[in-house]
Structure 1
């Protein structure tokens, strides 16, 4: 049997998530990561794999923590509530006290060189999955009469995702939570009414 770990892997992963969130994939050096995690490079590799593996695990931690609003919003009873909770959750996650501003999933690897390609692709797939979840939820809303029969679930999902991504960029640029919540509210003012058919 190997020696037991001398550190809490969950705490270390949480700290790595914050480093990636704050500095992006390429900006986060192994030295930055191991220093924040309080472990040696050897311990990091043994517990989490290479930097790409660690990034994937950190993104999963983000999805289950600050990004948990995504799946919570999808469970709302109406399409309008889904959109409202999604944008509200996005703003709150992007402006969370004690955490970096913005969204790890949006800003973590938008502009990268060859060494960051895997991280960029990982985040593109992560965002695409969120879009798929929204589209499928809005499709069910059309089928159930909660959205008009001629509503386009793909377009509505892209609209909500684009607003959320823009809110993340604004938050990273220093916009206040209250201002971003007002933008999110304004984005939903022309929401399509429910179908008259029951």
Structure 2
């Protein structure tokens, strides 16, 4: 029995668990803003509110964390860009919706400018697996546009003689260029003007690709 002068040791509760999604979103924004190489583990820990052992235990390391952050970006930001594309009744309307939505999203206040996937350079900095991932993710834009054009051909909106891959590359390139311009300070209004000019070329590119 302890005497009255002895103090009982305080009970230790379970260590506080961090919110994984919140921490991942913090890492995503830091990577998005600074890039893979320029972002240090200490900066990631500070942004995520965890220590280094917790980061490695939860995510497996910097490269794995970056991959998770890129996928988180796709899941959280993709719907803002692609929602109108998916709902549009024609291929032309779909591509116009994609470009105009991009003009709204890419220069958003309170977020890093431009598209994290488009602007990512980790693959060119000696990280082969990340390069393969980024090439795959960037190809999704091209693939979705091409598939929508192929559907338009099947439905009679476009001639079966057009080359959907060429048209898809043109409009995917416009969207990627808008991301670079947004990072360099282009305004929403300027990007919307770019989108509208690109759509004025619709008739020309759908005929010239035959």
User: Residue 158 of structure 1 aligns with which residue?
Assistant: 169
Q: CA RMSD in A?
A: 2.1
Could you say which structure has the larger radius of gyration? 2
Q: 1:106-146 deviations in whole A, cap 9, x for unaligned?
A: 111167322x3332321111011221121111101111112
Instruction: Indicate whether 1:102 and 2:109 are aligned.
Output: no
User: Residue 144 of structure 1 aligns with which residue?
Assistant: 155
Instruction: Indicate whether 1:9 and 2:9 are aligned.
Output: no
Q: What secondary structure sits across from 2:189 in the alignment?
A: helix
Instruction: Out of 104-113 and 157-166, give the one that drifted further.
Output: 104-113
Give the 3 Å change call, closer, same or farther, for CA 5–130 of structure 1 in structure 2.
farther
Instruction: Out of 157-166 and 125-134, give the one that drifted further.
Output: 125-134
Structure 2: unaligned runs, 5 residues or longer? 1-13
Structure 1: unaligned runs, 5 residues or longer? none
Distance 1:174 1:12 in 2: 28
User: Residue 72 of structure 2 aligns with which residue?
Assistant: 61
Instruction: Out of 50-59 and 175-184, give the one that drifted further.
Output: 50-59
Q: Conserved in 1, the CA contact under 8 Å of 2:123 and 2:129?
A: no
Q: What secondary structure sits across from 2:124 in the alignment?
A: coil
Q: Conserved in 1, the CA contact under 8 Å of 2:36 and 2:122?
A: no
Q: What secondary structure sits across from 1:120 in the alignment?
A: helix
Q: How much has 1:175 moved relative to structure 2?
A: 0.9
The number of equivalent residue pairs is 192
Matches within 5 A, 1:106-121: 106-109=118-121, 112-114=124-126, 116-121=127-132
Matches within 5 A, 1:1-198: 6-72=17-83, 73-109=85-121, 112-114=124-126, 116-192=127-203
> Given the two structures, how large is their TM-score scaled by the length of structure 2?
0.83
Q: How much has 1:42 moved relative to structure 2?
A: 1.1
Instruction: Out of 174-183 and 140-149, give the one that drifted further.
Output: 140-149
